[in-house]
Amino acid sequence: MEGFLLFNSYKMEESITELAFSLNTAWVLICAFLVFFMQAGFGMLEAGFTRAKSAVSVLMKNLMDLSFGVIGFFFIGYALMFGEGNAFIGQHGFELLNLPPETAGIATGAFFLFQAAFAATAATIVAGAVAERTKFLTYIVLSFLITAFIYPVVGHWVWGGGWLAAKGFVDFAGSTVVHSVGGWVALIGAILVGPRLGRFNLKKKKDFTGHSIPLATLGVFILWFGWYGFNSGSQLAIASSADTAAVSLIAMNTTLAAAVGGIVAMVLVWILTSKPQAGPTLNGVLGGLVAITAGCASVSPIGAMLIGAAGGVTVFFATVLLEKLQIDDAVGAFPVHGACGMLGTLAVGFFATDGGLFYGGGMKQLGIQALGVVAVAAWVFVTAIPVLLILKKIFGLRVSRVSEETGLDAHKHGVSAYPDFNLEGVK
């Protein structure tokens, strides 16, 4: 009898462990689905924030960076990021071969999928910045290289057991790993490709306002929704009280930072221009979301609101700065993802807490955070600049003047986004 009970007891323990494993995997899968859906958000946001004559071109870039992104991450990126290797780069698991069935406490396939969605996010950030004048093929190759190489190396440093992880760098869901990487490539791309024709030509001041605020707003709502998967899924577990508490705090912090980011940006633009403008407000929400991404698991709700507020301010002034510098980032990708990504990463040093407020990790943690921010920026510069210069030689970065004036949609993709509508300024 005792033997039976003992056997039974072992079997049940195993069943319980298996159930927890299954619940964790299910959670990460659902979150991965949400992160993939963010691509719809990016697509609508970026199309909405650019001109009608380039909408197809923007959307095709979004769809293709996702498509090439998952392929690049499957064959190469995952291995560089999570494969065994050294402090700098992983070297095993190309094509997902020879992997154990379980990774980080969940099914390996689910872990891969979640990470692939992240990689595609890093890549797609670039699309908006360089919109309306960048060559399609060049963009596709760049996307592939981001997910296959540039992003995974940073990922290895922080999440794959690399040197930044060893130093104690904290970036819970990727303010730096995902958003800053995308943001820096976006900035470099916007500079190297150059501004859209007429964008900073004061004589012929043309309106470069986004062509559909409803689509852009939809994009922000979808991104907000998907961000629950992005941040909450990064816990990679939910099957214990500790994990439920962590995930709930993460989701709450994400919500509060988004709300405050939008409010602060709106108030700011309202005060400075006497109009509560939609564009800056929408980007303020996103700035709050990007900023809370690094610290969502380690700050208090009040800390999250302060980080969100800082995100709203940062996104606003970074946008002004780029305009001053005559850098044409068509949708504000660098202000949102680059600037707020850095901000959020540094904020972990100030706001991380064990329940109280303003505890933080002290100056030492702040130093580590700053080191990570700088190192990642440096890495993106030394990889993305050569890549773009080589691509410039091979394919060129920029479409012809005629293409750009006519609109990339009609000239390059053979179709208008809105053939039944009379568009202004489109021939």
* 98 lies in the binding site for its own copies (CB under 8 A): no
Report the half-sphere exposure of 264 (CA within 13 A, side-chain side): 25
Q: How many binding residues for its own copies (CB under 8 A)?
A: 127
* Nearest-angstrom CA–CA distance, 288 and 285: 5
Q: Please tell me whether residue 260 binds its own copies under the rule CB under 8 A.
A: yes
**Closer of 44 and 186 to its own copies (Cβ):** 44
- Sole window of 187-195, 298-306, 345-353, 358-366 interacting with its own copies (rule: CB under 8 A): 298-306
Kindly state whether residue 412 participates in binding its own copies, applying the rule CB under 8 A: yes
Between the CA of residue 388 and those of 7, 16, 127, 143, what are the distances in Å? 62, 51, 14, 11
Establish if 305 lies at the interface with its own copies (CB under 8 A): yes
Q: Tell me: does residue 313 bind its own copies (CB under 8 A).
A: no
Can residue 325 be called a binding residue for its own copies (CB under 8 A)? no
Residue 382 phi, psi (nearest 5): -75, -10
Closest CB to its own copies among residues 113, 292: 113
Site mask for its own copies (CB under 8 A), range 53-72, x = bound: x-xx--xx-xxx-xxxxxx-
CA 115 to CA 415: how far, in whole Å? 34
Give min distance, CB of 71 to its own copies, in A: 6
The residues, any chain, with a CB within 8 Å of residue 43's CB and separated by 6 or more, are 58, 59, 62, 63, 219
Cα–Cα distance measured from residue 156 to residue 85, given in angstroms and rounded to the nearest whole number = 9
Selected from 91, 168, 205, 245, the binder of its own copies by CB under 8 A is: 245
* Sole binder of its own copies in the list 100, 204, 355, 420 (CB under 8 A): 420
- Is residue 2 involved in binding its own copies (CB under 8 A)? yes
- Which residues, in sequence order, are bridge partners of residue 308? none
- Cross-strand bridge partners of residue 103: 106
Out of 89, 104, 165, 215, point to the residue binding its own copies (CB under 8 A).
215
Residues within window 359-378 making contact with its own copies, judged by CB under 8 A: none
Closer residue to its own copies in complex, CB, 116/397: 116
DSSP assignment of 187-232 equals HHHHHHH-PPTTTT-STT------S-HHHHHHHHHHHHHHHHHHHH
Residue 251 as a binder of its own copies (CB under 8 A): the answer is: yes
Site string for its own copies, 76-95 (x = CB under 8 A): -------------------x
**Residue carrying the six token digits 């780029």:** 322
Q: How many residues does the chain have?
A: 427
**Contact pattern from residue 25 through residue 54 relative to its own copies, giving x for each residue in contact according to CB under 8 A and a dash for the rest:** xxx-xx-xxx-xx-xx--xx--xx--xxx-
Q: How many Å apart are CA 291 and CA 251, to the nearest integer?
A: 14
